[in-house]
Structure 1
């Protein structure tokens, strides 16, 4: 450890998070030459190459990936000590990437993320709201919301909330279409749903639970697009209550038919105690609990 300067870890983390010297320097209030010198000094002290220098930026090597975990643990301990001694909130900084299904991410989380940003002005929040499972092991996301807990991998999962889905259509469609008195009547109506070979998890394949053999005529890979189609009168769609609630463009169809699913909150085991991740997880849990009636209406 001769010649190792702990403060170099701040510069290393800034470059690891930003991917570019200029951005890291701006966040640190230093010039890019200083940042480059401190990173090079750390590599020399550790006798390891931490970054691949590319024209488009700095990419972590395998050794760099390993050091990020240790450096963030040190950063978290330092922040916690400062908070405990100084009696102030953690001064979080850096990026946190949240992966979520498009409906939850776009319509529930995005409007609430401003509260997290206001509480931690130095925190860079990256919201990836898309119908795809993001890999925590590949660091595609730091925190993920999923419809089922992972069966393998070095991750920690906890139930975030159950939520309810039902059938919806626009009032104009229902006024013009044949009456829908039972699930069997749905076969005579255009249904809106997922594209079969792009369904990312079995939990989204729910039409057969309503009535055997139902097939969507209008298909999309995203739930937000399906909702937009239903709102414009294209047919009947299965939607979560938290997306449909309060929208006059949507009316319930066969309200006695309801489906339940679960959102799971997943974090890589090595990141669960990192301050910025812990604060983000606490925020997600708190906001979801506060909106329980939106996910599970009485």
Structure 2
């Protein structure tokens, strides 16, 4: 089998799908990356990628090799942890992907506390209004609102959280009364851009039979800002409302959603004690912070 360096370069091309993207990640010249891939393919006697103007797509052989290469990557990370002492302390760099609502309102306090307790730990939050791609190593682990379907990923449910209809006090004082569900049709609705909802668990308004979204964004944080600016009525996370003191819940007896946060990571990562201990601390922190913020309402 080839050296770890060959597999490292192969993995980067597989994840970035271009020589330039892989070269940037590896801090190598793209032409050098291309030569190394060609050398690897010659050595094993099989094409690992289909090359096109759009980039590098894995062949069947390349797809099989990804599993082997990722296991080698995990072994190297484990060895590095032991040699540097990371197996005993939370240190180094860990990147977490999360939906922007969680990233904006829950993770900052959790990460600040983790950083204070582990001064050698560098934490990064990737806040995206979409699912973070762990296979391309966009992050070391991710918080999601649905469990993953990929077999190479493992997950644990962290906690449930609540969502309700909400609007600003100013908006409600200038609009028709909102005392029953049918009254929503006389109000401006704030919500997700329908064709950019990246997870079915976020499609709240379909359950309310509301066809028109007057003010829309693919970001839950932007939607809350629209509510703060008296834009209309929309679904908001209970844990986000303490950050918008003049936005209040409405129709709580008729409309209430319960969703869950999941912590997702590569199944192979469970072999790394450092990552497992961080995952445990992160999950506990998120659970506690959601409970703290919801209790403020």
C-alpha deviation, 1:166, in angstroms: 2.3
SS of the residue corresponding to residue 27 of structure 2 reads helix
Does residue 65 of structure 2 align to residue 64 of structure 1?
no
The equivalent of 1:248 in structure 2 is 245
Distance 1:48 1:249, change over 3 A: farther
Alignment size in residue pairs = 284
Residue pair 1:72, 1:274 contacting (<8 A) in 2 also: no
User: Alpha carbons of 1:44 and 1:284: their partners in 2 closer, same or farther (altered >3 Å)?
Assistant: farther
Alignment equivalent of 2:228, drawn from 220, 228, 231: 231
What is the rounded CA distance, in whole Å, between the counterparts of 1:168 and 1:45 in structure 2?
61
* Aligned counterpart, 1:10: 8
1:88 to 86, 89, 98: 86
Q: Deviations over 1:140-177 (max 9, x none)?
A: 98755443435x55243321221111232122213333
Normalised to the residue count of structure 1, the TM-score between the two structures is 0.67
CA distance in 2, matches of 1:40, 1:128: 36
Judged with a 3 Å threshold, the aligned counterparts in structure 2 of structure 1 residues 53 and 77 are, in CA distance, closer, same or farther, namely same
- SS of residue paired to 2:75: helix
- The offset of 1:275, in angstroms, is 9.1
Determine helix, strand or coil for the equivalent of 1:65: helix
Q: Is the 8 A contact 2:86 2:274 kept in 1?
A: no
- Counterparts of 1:140-179 in structure 2, within 5 Å, are 143=141, 145-149=143-147, 153-154=150-151, 155-179=153-177
Cα separation, 1, equivalents of 2:106 and 2:43: 46
Counterpart-to-counterpart distance in 1, 2:50 and 2:265: 26
CA distance 1:177–1:80, shift in 2 (3 Å): same
Q: Give the gaps of 5 or more residues in structure 2.
A: none
Q: Which runs of 5+ in 1 are unaligned?
A: none
The structural deviation recorded for 1:202 is 5.3
Q: Distance in 1 between matches of 2:273 and 2:43?
A: 26
Aligned to 1:265: 263
